[in-house]
Amino acid sequence: MQLDELYRQVIMDHYKIPRNRGTLDGEAVSVQLNNPTCGDRIELQMMIEDGKVTQARFEGEGCSISMSSASMMTDAIKGKSLEDALKLAEDFSQMMQGQEYDEFEYEDIEALSGVTKFPARIKCATLAWNAMRKGIVQSKHELDGESEQS
In the chain (150 residues long), the average pLDDT of successive 10-residue segments reads: 85 97 94 93 97 97 97 98 97 96 93 94 97 95 62
pLDDT, residue 147, reads 52
Instruction: Provide the CATH number for the domain around residue 111.
Output: 3.90.1010.10
pLDDT value of residue 108: 96
Cα 105 from Cα 59, distance rounded (Å): 24
What's the domain count of the chain? Answer: 1
Domain containing residue 135: 3-140
Residue 150 in any domain: the answer is no
pLDDT for residue 61: 96
Helices 122-149 & 64-77 angle (0-180, nearest 10) = 40
Residue 107, in any domain of the structure: yes
- Nearest Cα to Cα of residue 130 among 63, 58, 27, 49: 58
